[in-house]
Amino acid sequence: MDILKKIDAILKFKLPIVHITLITFVLVMFEELVELKFKCPEDKASQVISSLLISILVPVLIFTIRRSLSLKKRYSCFTSFVISFMWIIVVLVDGRYFDCMFHPYDTKATESTWYSELSKMIGMGLFILALIVYWMCKECSNNCCNECCKEVCNQKDELQDDFLIEVKEKIWKKAKEQNRESAKIFVKEFLPTMGKNYLHRERDSFFCFYC
């Protein structure tokens, strides 16, 4: 299990080009190993079954294993599906399995037919389509992320401005309260020695200034 976790950690490498290249290389090597043991049977039913097992059963196993190893469950289904889809492309580009499945009755199982070329064309078409979809999704994702980042930054600036205004108001209010208390103490302690009219006038001026 430690080896599988290390392989999974490598497959999660953040550089998309390295990620895709590494996965493709692993799938191609695995397909070459399968091809060494694969021989198209003479019986038509066996031809269909063996081709379907490699074309369908292997992607299902890849999806299941990749899904079970994934620690991030949020995108595990999507990434597992992508890897399984890449295996189908590799099988189609090889051409032997598709050719074996639709092999005519009047030819030998070891002889290649035009179905092999058709399979390669379908595989390359799917590969190019996958690249186009990936590029479009990446561009859309980058644009959406930029817009989201702008909105988040604007919200942050607004929150910071509101916070600073609130802090300033609290500081100013506290300062006014302290100055008001200081003014009251000054009036009570020092102004009684002065004249009564002067005392009222100074008291009113202090209160008006700090209100």
pLDDT for 149: 53
pLDDT for 73: 58
Single out the residue of 76, 95, 72, 74 nearest to residue 84, CA to CA: 76
Q: Read off the pLDDT of residues 104-127 as tens digits, 9 standing for 90 and up.
A: 655 555 556 678 888 888 888 988
Q: What is the average pLDDT score of the chain? A: 67
Written as six digits, the tokens of 95 are 């051409």
Task: Tell me how far apart the alpha carbons of residues 15 and 127 are, in angstroms, rounded to a whole number.
Answer: 19
- Binning pLDDT at 50, 70 and 90, where does residue 184 land? low
- For the cut 70, the answer to whether the pLDDT of residue 15 exceeds it is no
* pLDDT, average across residues 181-209: 51
> In sequence order, which ranges of 53-112 are alpha helices (DSSP H)?
58-69, 76-94, 96-101
Helix (H) or strand (E) holding 113: none
- For the cut 50, the answer to whether the pLDDT of residue 207 exceeds it is no
Q: Read off the pLDDT of residues 59-71 as tens digits, 9 standing for 90 and up.
A: 888 778 777 766 5
pLDDT for 13: 46
pTM over 0.75: no
Asked if residue 35 lies in contact with residue 94, where contact means CB atoms within 8 angstroms, the answer is yes
Task: Tell me how far apart the alpha carbons of residues 52 and 40 are, in angstroms, rounded to a whole number.
Answer: 12
